[in-house]
């Protein structure tokens, strides 16, 4: 566990979500089905978050700290007129999540320096004009082992399998079935307790999208215009996890390496529309 730098500031002209400065968000009571105008706002936020990840991709190298990546992303999101949604979310102290190697999700940027052979997941959410767009990518640092490279590429494909299961009229648990069936081929652990979620005016709307076969649970039927994330986490070992004493960082229980990819999407007549592209 490294040392976390002081909280970065956000200029006054950037509008913060309502939960900033409060212990928790106000529960969302609206719908996960968005209008075309709302979907374009989520896409505009998602484009900034995706652009920030593309910028970090070219900075990630052995010797760079996750704190440095956080500062770069913080400045990028603000320079594009958006608020970095994680900063002040339930007290989370940073503008990105950076989850290295055995960290499943919600790693806090600190003075930890990346080394060749590491993998790092960068999760960024931007809030613009009242709407959030949320995505993450796992990025290889220098050359990584074949097992780890395969895990990263198959986790990317697992997200793709989840996306391909999206269609109006289907239960959301179909998404998890597709992901788990694909991951099972390789004997990977499929994390169950951290899920995709509805996103829009709220960072997490309350709608849950499991990445495993949860039927008959989580049977919400997908509708055209529904917006949510899919964000599978696969491991080279167990799906079980431990929470670090910081209350955020989630590690695999067996310290096995883990990867994740995430997009925000809208359900369309024929499938899906990814809203978090650069
Ligand atoms: N972006 C993460 C997600 O995909 C949530 C991060 S919340 C934080 O849902 F507080 F940990 F940053
Ligand atoms: Co998410
Ligand atoms: Co995310």
pLDDT digits (tens, 9 = 90+) for 185-230: 999 999 999 999 999 999 999 999 999 999 999 999 999 999 999 9
Q: Which atom of ligand 1 is nearest to the CA of 124?
A: 1
Q: Judging by beta carbons within 10 Å of its beta carbon (0-12, 13-18, 19+), is residue 168 exposed, middle or buried?
A: middle
Binding site membership of 78 for ligand 1 (Cβ less than 6 Å):
no
Q: What pLDDT sits at residue 267?
A: 99
Residue 135 Cα, ligand 3 centroid: separation in angstroms?
5
CA–CA separation, 243 vs 233, rounded Å?
15
Q: Which atom of ligand 1 is nearest to the CA of 231?
A: 4
Quote the pLDDT of residue 1.
83
Residue 252: what pLDDT?
Answer: 99
Residue 143 CA to ligand 3 center (angstroms) comes to 25
CA atoms within 13 A on the CB side of 132: 28
Average pLDDT over residues 6-31: 98
pLDDT category of residue 264 using cuts at 50, 70 and 90: very high
pLDDT of residue 163: 99
Tens-place pLDDT, residues 52-80: 999 999 999 999 999 999 999 999 999 99
**3-class secondary structure per residue, the chain:** CCCCCCCCCCCCCCCCCCCCCCCCCCCCCCCCECCHHHHHHHHHHHHHHHHHHHHHHHHCCCCCEHHHHHHHHHHHHHHCCCEECCCCHHHCCCCCEEEECCEEECCCCCCCECCCCCEEEEEEEEEECCEEEEEEEEEECCCCCHHHHHHHHHHHHHHHHHHHCCCCCCECHHHHHHHHHHHHCCCCEECCCCCEEECCCCCCCCCEECCCCCCCCCCCECCCCEEEEECCEEECCCCCEEECCCCCCEEECCCCCEEECEEEEEECCCCEEECCCC
Q: What pLDDT does residue 214 have?
A: 98
207 Rama class: left (phi>0) / alpha (psi -120 to 50) / beta: beta
Average pLDDT, the chain: 98
Structure token digits, residue 51: 């652009």
CA of 220 to the centre of ligand 1 (A): 22
Question: Which of 203, 207, 246 has most ligand 1 atoms within 8 Å of CB, for mutation?
Answer: 203
**Length in residues, the chain:** 278
pLDDT per residue as tens digits for the range 132-175: 999 999 999 999 999 999 999 999 999 999 999 999 999 999 99
Is residue 70 within 6 Å of ligand 1 at its C-beta? no
Protein residue whose Cα sits closest to atom 8 of ligand 1: 86
Quote the ligand 2 centre to 257 CA distance (angstroms).
20
Reply yes or no: is the peptide bond before residue 242 cis, omega within 30 of 0: no
Alpha-carbon distance of 49 to 73, in angstroms, equals 9
Residue pair 41/128 in contact (Cβ under 8 Å)? The answer is yes
When pLDDT is averaged across residues 92-103 and rounded to a whole number, the result is 99
Work out the burial of residue 123: count CB atoms within 10 Å of its CB; fewer than 13 is exposed, 13-18 middle, 19 or more buried.
Answer: buried
Rounded to the nearest whole angstrom, what is the distance from the C-alpha of residue 16 to the centroid of ligand 3?
17
Is the separation of the CB atoms in 99 and 120 below 8 Å?
Answer: yes
CA distance 273 to 264: 9
Q: Whose CA is nearest to atom 2 of ligand 1?
A: 123
């Amino acid at each position: 566990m490294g040392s976390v730098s002081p909280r970065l500031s956000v200029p006054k002209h950037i509008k913060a979500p309502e939960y900033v400065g409060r212990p928790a968000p106000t529960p969302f009571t609206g719908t996960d089905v968005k209008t075309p105008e709302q979907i374009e706002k989520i896409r505009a936020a998602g484009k900034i978050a995706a652009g920030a990840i593309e910028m970090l991709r070219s900075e990630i190298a052995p010797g760079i700290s996750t704190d440095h990546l956080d500062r770069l992303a913080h400045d990028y999101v603000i320079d594009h007129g958006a608020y970095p949604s994680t900063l002040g979310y339930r007290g989370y102290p940073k503008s990105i999540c950076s989850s290295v190697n055995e960290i499943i999700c919600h790693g806090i940027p600190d003075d930890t320096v990346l080394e060749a052979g590491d993998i790092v997941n960068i999760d960024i959410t931007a809030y613009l004009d009242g709407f959030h767009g949320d995505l993450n990518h796992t990025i290889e640092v220098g050359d990584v082992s074949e097992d780890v490279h395969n895990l990263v590429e198959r986790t990317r494909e697992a997200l793709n399998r989840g996306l391909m299961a999206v269609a109006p009229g289907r239960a959301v648990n179909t998404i998890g079935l597709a992901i788990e069936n694909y991951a099972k081929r390789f004997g990977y652990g499929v994390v169950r307790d951290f899920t995709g979620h509805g996103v829009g005016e709220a960072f997490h709307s309350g709608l849950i999208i499991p990445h495993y076969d949860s039927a008959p649970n989580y049977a919400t039927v997908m509708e055209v215009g529904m917006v949510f994330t899919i964000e599978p986490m696969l491991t080279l070992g167990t799906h079980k996890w431990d929470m670090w004493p910081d209350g955020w960082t989630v590690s695999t229980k067996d310290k096995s390496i883990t990867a994740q990819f995430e997009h925000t999407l809208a359900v369309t007549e024929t499938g899906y529309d990814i809203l978090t592209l650069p």
